[in-house]
Structure 1
């Protein structure tokens, strides 16, 4: 809510809980209109009108949660229509009223809430509903949450018709005939296309769009940046507005999306690393024109500017290592003609920059009541997630190919091409997949031994201290620290013994000590232990202790390992054998875990035969299912192997429907390319929703990702190596995150390459390798021939050698990143 409201207070509710049956099962709130999901327009239109916002969705909750508003689901099962959404919203809302709108009409009058509330109060009605001049629009309604009992009673009787429930209450019909465009919803693909063509987003219905101003040239050709092939976006602001703070919040989010980032900051004085006393300072003072600092973790360079003029951004960009950058973020250089995000805080007391800078494409502010022109996107400065998402979307648009509609098409992109402009980068593909994920529910209570390999649904809090008493860490003699020897050795009388589980009952005074064993409670009066090896026998009943001991030595304090009330294991942690021991030491008999994922998979292809069958000419044994089984088995999921399905549309459709009905995730191998018998992509478009189906990687370019009902779908390639590579890069981290695990990214290591690896820039390659330790360093060789059908390379190898998109041929001795196989010995 961006402006003050008098009571009553209103929660805006976007109803996105339907099946989308006339849209092939697509989630209509996530359909794109002019490059943005419909829900994004509605959120922008609702925000100034209400005090809170809820999104009612029964699927794709993780994608809706990206907008940082609560997402609620119907409590009634099987998609019971808008009334179910009304009931869920009334239960969740903390306000007097809910304002409901459908997810599939991208426009909304700027005074919708005000009109409905005025009519409701003026007519002393219980419900206010919009009317378009010809008919009632029942889903555009203002409803008091106090009507929840009435609605629940209506639904309990099995009634579902919205007009029948309205008829039970005093209703105000509110004229919106001047805003009839807001009732044009999308029910079919044809309507989606028609609306996109006929109705551009325009105020007051869709403020703050992401389109850049027309007529502005490519950002790489502005201000002398012609030839710079990297996306460059700046952050500009008056001093004190928080440019650096914003960048430090956005950078981790962009890194999480997989981008390699270069940050350029314009300074007006000496560099902070240019510090007296440092070697770099001494070298520069001695007259070096360039000083380069290099370590195994990072490099830095200082270069003398002989011209004494302020450096221009184009000069700095020439120093950027393109192998380390997918995006350049610039702080400063505010007069350079690059796309910029302006940071604006009214409290700083400075004017806005964008009215005088046509290159500002977005305004990040803590005052969301500001009106901005349509070509400037308004961003909430307190929502770094949404700002990072804006930057990611902007980058995607910048890298989109410019097509010449008059050119003759000679060839279509294929897996033989170094670059395919229609393929997603690995970074963008991962980002899209992860945005769709939300851990499965519900949580289950499991006995301790049964929790091995499961993911914790809740953090485990220690019910006691470990150790639970102050005890000895050594076999030796316990005594008082203030009685330790000073300048010479001393004799101490041994007054008793203490064992683990059998404490000494007396009190130790000066000149006395107690024989103590490891784990035994410290006797009263003692706070130090001298190990027995540092003592010698004295007269009968005495020992001698020398000098050099300290206060509190060899004593373990209560709670030193684990303190009572502290978090032992966090939610999202996968329980391992050591965890079982720790939990057992705390007396914890059961834990709450997330139920294992159910994964269904099958192979496609008339040429495939199962083990034990006789091969005819052109037929092969199905190896992909065995690879998938092995990799899934290691992830502790419930596996449903559906065998081989023929290359027949009806058979494939039936198999996909059955898999989606029983599993959280559906995997197929084969059938997602462009061959005449590759049907998966078309069937997925019919039954579910396709997010993407080509990635700029090798091997594994054809990879379909989308949804089948409530299940996620991965259509993997047919070549066996490509199946395993794409599983490791996309499916495995997705399954781990979907299973609730917080640590799901693979461990990557640096190794010195012992082979020459051929590669063309344009897509990320995963070559199979053998990594080993040699002379104290990790080295890696390629594991034989690298063809995508050479399955033995995966068996011979123990890692993938990762060659980034812009990398060319790797020479002997170059450092590369490797991903070690989890199944390697």
Structure 2
């Protein structure tokens, strides 16, 4: 048994060193929580139970240093996860142990250090890690500083997973099942609001179907109960959707099955379809636990009179708790106000009046309770209020597609449509290469000098003393030299000239001095082979010089000319037809009457299309008339590869727009969780692809950049079809509520310290086009992010990428 340790042997470590990719790029340790930054809550909890405290952070050092504590940066580059923070803290700590906690959880057990110490000593272990009753919580740990060499060796091998490093050592599990709230961290504004006790709308209040959760400790029998309830609820005529939360792989992801092989090969989404059922597997790119609101995006309302949820126990939805006292686990409902009933095998348990007690062995009784609960939730029609449908003013509409999902659907439906043609080299500028260019020769095509100087054999270079050489001639670029260079001899050589026989090294003329007549003096310090360009050093014969899919630029013309290539196989430019719809629109030069506006959308679209080197067919303004619209759609689809319209795809627009599009083609109308620009239509009109954009000017430009531009680039054959995003520090307060991805207009510049900074460019309304004109980028605020404060890091998309 190890000698009992005391709190003076422990340094508490707050890990705040992450990328800041969640909560809109905010530093979570500095997020305000119930009036104090999160880091202060942790400091107040750690200081009474540890001998010292330090903070691991990779940004905002000045703000953390205000607390008068050591602030250490990860010494490993590239944000290599919590282990990098462990290593930095272990090197800084003056105690035998460190105790780590993440910065984004506002509470820890008041006896956390004592519990970890007890587990460590009782199990004669090297380190102790918290366990919540279901799984390990690896960032809540007690680790000896003496393991630093082991950790550094682990990281140097390229490993990053905490559990793999723990597995190399004797590890004790400390039981924290009775205080699981300490492991709840804040990754979304919804979680922050819920944990602060702020009343926020339940997911069920924003969906067209009621949601009922079933929560319990693992092994209690939630799944068994649900399988008994489902047939009874189906018998009552309900259409049921069931959502199950798992922490790792999903059970249909079985080795040997085709779907497993597709996913293992790298597919981001795998869809399975038969005449009986459909299934979908999608990779979670965020690397965070999904929230229930994320999953609700995929629920088909046609299958959902009621959504039953197993898991997501911390989500604010009505729940039935399943409880078996024999398992020795505590009840959840004392700390969860959303529990409405308790299904248990001990009917003697006392419950508050608002919680109905149900016999877990009587599924008929529980099904009847669920049906009665649904009836109580029905709201009779009101004569005083209008029931609102989802609109572009809503921040969260579960029936909307995410930006990523909409872009993925579009891109998956595309193939390059333009045939290849031959173009003279100069005329290929700006076009997209259709075939790889293979070099017919070496560049340079012979071994030559990279300097003006003297060529000689590297084995004949001087040693420690200055040596004199006889100059046997001079060789110029483009002129061969027939003589051979022997020992004690050299050749005067010019840049680009072929290396004479017997030479492989050039000493630049500035590092020589004249000797006797016809001689040159060379000193020590040179190496064999210096200042010589080998044949094929730049481009090797038969190598791929430029790959298909690249847009030819001026440098490419120079490279290809150096190979003697006179023409290229390029894709034909796309033909894109576009027009605006609306009786209120007038073209430049016409006189405006009351209620009329000049059509700015066509000019913005023209400018963005012009930059893509497509053939542009501007069809003007088409009035809101069924005959005129149908004629315009037919004409555009007959002459163009792609047809783009602005206006006419929102709720409230003339119904015949949708009817005409459905008549002439296969069109999908989507609501997208984006601001500005929620409505979008995409599909086919005859042989042409169709994009129907919103009518507001900024929404037109934003949806074009996010959906149309990458689609056009892929259709045209270009391989680089996604925008380059960069990080910048916000100088403005950017107001936002969670629920939609927002694209605010901004101006990015470089500050005096060399860092990129961005500030918003004026009022952000979707009709205020001047904000696009004044700015040079879009500031991207993810769906889950809330208001951005000055100093927070955001991603920006530069115009004209």
- The TM-score with structure 1 as length reference comes to 0.58
Correspondence for 1:685: 662
Correspondence for 2:469: 492
Correspondence for 2:487: 510
Contact (CA 8 Å) 1:440, 1:595: kept in 2 or not?
no
- 1:36-61 superposed Cα distances (whole Å, 9 cap, x missing partner): xxxxxxxxxxxxxxxxxxxxxxxxxx
Give the C-alpha shift of residue 279 in structure 1: 3.6
Please state if 1:755 is matched with 2:735: no
Give the C-alpha shift of residue 293 in structure 1: 11
- 1:76-120 superposed Cα distances (whole Å, 9 cap, x missing partner): xxxxxxxxxxxxxxxxxxxxxxxxxxxxxxxxxxxxxxxxxxxxx
Deviates further, 709-718 or 357-366: 357-366
Correspondence for 1:791: 769
Give the C-alpha shift of residue 592 in structure 1: 1.1
Residues 728, 273 of structure 1: alpha-carbon distance in 2 compared, 3 angstrom cutoff: closer
Contact (CA 8 Å) 1:455, 1:575: kept in 2 or not?
yes
Correspondence for 1:169: none
Residue 603 of structure 1: SS of its match in structure 2?
A: strand
- 1:114-155 superposed Cα distances (whole Å, 9 cap, x missing partner): xxxxxxxxxxxxxxxxxxxxxxxxxxxxxxxxxxxxxxxxxx
Equivalent in 678, 684, 696 of residue 701 of structure 1: 678
Please state if 1:722 is matched with 2:559: no
Contact (CA 8 Å) 1:366, 1:381: kept in 2 or not?
no
CA distance in 2, matches of 1:768, 1:530: 56
Residues 378, 745 of structure 1: alpha-carbon distance in 2 compared, 3 angstrom cutoff: closer
Structure 1 residues 314-353: aligned runs within 5 Å: 318-319=184-185, 321-322=187-188
CA distance in 2, matches of 1:569, 1:620: 47
Please state if 1:613 is matched with 2:590: yes
Please state if 1:286 is matched with 2:264: no
Residue correspondences, number: 517
Contact (CA 8 Å) 1:443, 1:593: kept in 2 or not?
yes
Correspondence for 1:352: none
Please report the RMSD computed on the Cα atoms of aligned residues, expressed in angstroms.
Answer: 3.5
Residue 721 of structure 1: SS of its match in structure 2?
A: helix
Residues 316, 482 of structure 1: alpha-carbon distance in 2 compared, 3 angstrom cutoff: farther
CA distance in 2, matches of 1:515, 1:735: 56
Equivalent in 747, 752, 759 of residue 770 of structure 1: 747
Identify unmatched segments of 5+ residues in structure 1: 1-270, 295-299, 326-332, 340-356, 369-376
Residue 631 of structure 2: SS of its match in structure 1?
A: helix
Correspondence for 1:130: none
Residue 530 of structure 1: SS of its match in structure 2?
A: strand
Contact (CA 8 Å) 2:418, 2:574: kept in 1 or not?
no
Structure 1 residues 434-583: aligned runs within 5 Å: 434-583=411-560
Correspondence for 1:308: 173
Give the C-alpha shift of residue 593 in structure 1: 1.0
Equivalent in 392, 417, 442 of residue 282 of structure 2: 392
Deviates further, 706-715 or 570-579: 706-715
Correspondence for 1:362: 252
Residues 379, 568 of structure 1: alpha-carbon distance in 2 compared, 3 angstrom cutoff: closer
Residues 278, 483 of structure 1: alpha-carbon distance in 2 compared, 3 angstrom cutoff: farther
Residues 577, 810 of structure 1: alpha-carbon distance in 2 compared, 3 angstrom cutoff: same
Contact (CA 8 Å) 2:254, 2:260: kept in 1 or not?
yes
Residues 822, 461 of structure 1: alpha-carbon distance in 2 compared, 3 angstrom cutoff: same
- 1:461-519 superposed Cα distances (whole Å, 9 cap, x missing partner): 11111001000000111011000010101011111011110122111111111111100
Correspondence for 1:252: none
Contact (CA 8 Å) 1:293, 1:301: kept in 2 or not?
no
Deviates further, 402-411 or 644-653: 402-411
CA distance in 1, matches of 2:744, 2:85: 47
Residues 275, 728 of structure 1: alpha-carbon distance in 2 compared, 3 angstrom cutoff: closer
Contact (CA 8 Å) 1:280, 1:293: kept in 2 or not?
no
- 1:699-736 superposed Cα distances (whole Å, 9 cap, x missing partner): 11111112212211111111111111111111111101
Give the C-alpha shift of residue 590 in structure 1: 1.1
Residues 489, 393 of structure 1: alpha-carbon distance in 2 compared, 3 angstrom cutoff: closer
Give the C-alpha shift of residue 281 in structure 1: 4.4
Contact (CA 8 Å) 1:290, 1:301: kept in 2 or not?
no
CA distance in 2, matches of 1:290, 1:310: 16
- 1:589-646 superposed Cα distances (whole Å, 9 cap, x missing partner): 1111111111110000111111111111111111111110110000011111111000
Residues 525, 278 of structure 1: alpha-carbon distance in 2 compared, 3 angstrom cutoff: farther
Residues 293, 785 of structure 1: alpha-carbon distance in 2 compared, 3 angstrom cutoff: closer
Residues 335, 450 of structure 1: alpha-carbon distance in 2 compared, 3 angstrom cutoff: farther
Residue 551 of structure 1: SS of its match in structure 2?
A: coil
Residues 685, 318 of structure 1: alpha-carbon distance in 2 compared, 3 angstrom cutoff: farther
Residues 675, 360 of structure 1: alpha-carbon distance in 2 compared, 3 angstrom cutoff: closer
Give the C-alpha shift of residue 418 in structure 1: 1.0
Correspondence for 1:136: none
Residue 544 of structure 1: SS of its match in structure 2?
A: strand
Give the C-alpha shift of residue 577 in structure 1: 0.5
Residues 513, 786 of structure 1: alpha-carbon distance in 2 compared, 3 angstrom cutoff: same
Residues 724, 311 of structure 1: alpha-carbon distance in 2 compared, 3 angstrom cutoff: farther
Give the C-alpha shift of residue 289 in structure 1: 1.1
